Amino acid sequence: MKQNLFFALLVLLLLLVMPLCSAGVAAGSRKEDAPAPISSTTKPAAAAPQQTTAPPQAAAPPAFASLQVLRTSTGATQSIPLEEYLVGCVAAEMDANCHSEALKAQAVASYTYARYRLEIAGQSALSDSGDSDQGYISRAQRQERWGGNFETYEAKIGQAVRAVSGQTITYGGQPIFAAYHAVSAGRTESAEDYWGQPFDYLQSVESPGDKLSPDYSRSATLSEEDMRKALEACGDIELGKDPAQWFGAPKRSGAGGVMEIAVGGKPLTGREVRALLGLRSTHFTIEWKDGRFRITCLGYGHGVGMSQYGADFMARQGSGYREILEHYYTGCTVG
Task: Note the pLDDT tens digit of each residue in 306-319.
Answer: 999 999 999 999 99
Question: What sign does the CA torsion over 149, 151, 152, 158 have?
Answer: positive
Per-residue pLDDT reduced to its tens digit, 253-300: 999 999 999 999 999 999 999 999 999 999 999 999 999 999 999 999
Is 31 a residue whose pLDDT tops 90?
Answer: no
DSSP H or E segment with residue 186: none
- pLDDT, mean over the chain: 86
Q: Which pLDDT belongs to residue 46?
A: 33
Is 52 a residue whose pLDDT tops 90?
Answer: no
Q: Where are the domains positioned within the chain? A: 11-213+302-334
Q: What percent of the chain has pLDDT over 70?
A: 81
pTM: 0.84
Q: Which pLDDT belongs to residue 25?
A: 33
- Measured at the CA of 267, the angle between CA 265 and CA 270, to 5 degrees, comes to 130
Q: Which pLDDT belongs to residue 234?
A: 83
Q: Are 90 and 103 in contact (CB under 8 A)?
A: yes
Question: Percent helix, strand, coil in the chain (nearest 5)?
Answer: 35, 20, 45
Q: Are 311 and 324 in contact (CB under 8 A)?
A: yes
Question: What sign does the CA torsion over 164, 304, 277, 285 have?
Answer: negative
The pairing of strands 66-71 and 126-127 is: parallel
Nearest to 217 by CA among 38, 29, 14: 14
Nearest to 25 by CA among 278, 309, 224, 296: 309
Could you give the maximum distance between any two Cα atoms of the chain, in Å?
62
CA dihedral 284, 286, 287, 290 (to 10 degrees): 120
Per-residue pLDDT reduced to its tens digit, 98-157: 999 999 999 999 999 999 999 999 999 999 999 889 999 999 999 999 999 999 999 999
- Mean per-residue pLDDT for 183-198? 97
List 306's β-bridge partners, or say none.
180
Is 90 a residue whose pLDDT tops 70?
Answer: yes
